[in-house]
Amino acid sequence: MVSVNKNYQKLPGSYLFSTIAKKVNAYQESHPGEKIIRLGIGDVTQPLVPAVISALHSAVDEMADAASFRGYAPDLGYAFLREVIAREDYQARGCRINADEIFISDGAKSDSGNIQEIFDRNSRIAVCDPVYPVYVDTNVMAGRTGSYNADRGNFDGVIYMPCRKENEFVPDLPEEVPDIIYLCFPNNPTGSAVSKDRLQEWVDYANRNGSVIIYDAAYEAYISTPGVPHSIYECEGAETCAIELRSFSKNAGFTGLRLGFTVVPKALIREGISLHGMWARRHGTKFNGAPYIVQRAGEAVYSSEGRQQLSEQVGYYMRNAGVILNGLRDAGYEVSGGVDAPYIWLRTPQGMTSWDFFDYLLNRAKVVGTPGSGFGAFGEGYFRLTAFGTYENTVEALERIRAL
Ligand code: PLP
């Protein structure tokens, strides 16, 4: 008889967002007609910008003509997209990254989940706590962790790096040296950003110890503070220790269209083996390329119209972030994030647990957020609100919260 991958059994039962959905549905059923405002999930609400729509239309037309029809895309991505990314996102910032170090994908979730495959099963991973759950869960599935410890709310064998107010939600360098270090800045869920100096410390630490940093920069477009790095490759020496993940979901609203990329520098070598070569092999073997029309849409993100329209769209969401941040501060909440990220992280009042506060907000204000404890043990006592709603709903939600 077949034997299944028992590591899946280690994953704790209910997933955060399904529990939220159940609670919200139950509330709605018992209060029909009441307007619930959702500031919980990280999905966007604004439509694709005209520059992207127009690129999609022309690419669709190309597909209708035998002369311009495209079949399988190159599995590492079309040169037109890899080149514009290398130029605009990296070389323009002084980073030494070339087009052939960029791997186009269907988004950062797949890449952040798949990247662990190129590392040994016994590699020790370190993650921030709280954390975007994909990093941990995919390593659990791969057998790289021990069991889930329900009392502690985390997995044995993982190095958890607490992110708290005291360290400005940027982790301290761990004493026990990890092999793989997951960092995400601007951060989901805390909304914190990292300074270039702090990030440089991480790069130096990884180079000193032979670790590899998986740097998730999915929210890079939301950085507004001067000096905050948009890429880890702005740090000296990052090409020899870091892989960077990027997404078109939050900077350009591609959550439904699906596009992202991963940068694996050629200088990243471990045990004499090129990680670039390994990722090229893995990507080429298991992925058959992002759709041509979507890659053309991605290219339009870098056009001058695209840039202009998208900076307005990011501005729209960040206006919401300001409404949430200021509204909560005025109401006496302890808040952070919301300046370089579309997430606002608030301390629950009067020692409430994250789930108690979830229920309180749902029942009393009909506003849905995300309990911090769903992102890790150190998220307990915190709560995440997102700026991805509509402006009108965000304003209304904050009026309701302030009226409590
Ligand atoms: N990384 C982080 C930190 C995220 O918050 C998300 C989505 O919410 C992703 C990656 C996934 O991005 P994508 O839509 O490109 O798969």
Q: What is the pLDDT of residue 14?
A: 66
State whether the beta carbon of 130 lies less than 6 angstroms from ligand 1. Answer: no
Give the CATH number, domain containing residue 123.
3.40.640.10
| Nearest partner of 278 among 19, 21, 50, 103, judged by Cα | 103
Q: What is the pLDDT of residues 46-96, one digit of tens each?
A: 999 999 999 999 999 999 999 999 999 998 999 999 999 999 999 999 999
Q: What is the pLDDT of residue 81?
A: 98
Q: What single DSSP character describes residue 126?
A: E
Find where tokens 């110890």 sit.
209
Closest ligand 1 atom to 248 CA:
15
Q: What is the pLDDT of residue 284?
A: 94
Phi, psi angle pair for 338, to nearest 5°: 75, 5
Q: What is the pLDDT of residue 216?
A: 98
1 part of a folded domain? no
State whether the beta carbon of 218 lies less than 6 angstroms from ligand 1. Answer: yes
Q: What is the pLDDT of residues 254-313, one digit of tens each?
A: 999 999 999 999 999 999 999 999 999 999 999 999 999 999 999 999 999 999 999 999
Q: What is the pLDDT of residue 322?
A: 98
- Of 302, 322, 343, the position where a domain reaches its end is 302
113 part of a folded domain? yes
Per-residue burial over 131-144, b if 16 or more Cβ lie within 10 Å, else e, is: bbbbbbbbbbbbeb
The CA 157 to ligand 1 mean position distance, Å, reads: 25
Look up the pTM and report it. 0.97
Distance CA 376, CA 374 (A): 6
Same domain, 298 and 316: no
Please count the structural domains in the chain. Answer: 2
Q: Which residues of the chain have pLDDT under 70?
A: 14
Same domain, 204 and 174: yes
Same domain, 21 and 104: no
Domain of residue 62 covers 53-302
Q: What is the pLDDT of residue 18?
A: 87
Find where tokens 């409404």 sit.
323
The CA 190 to ligand 1 mean position distance, Å, reads: 14
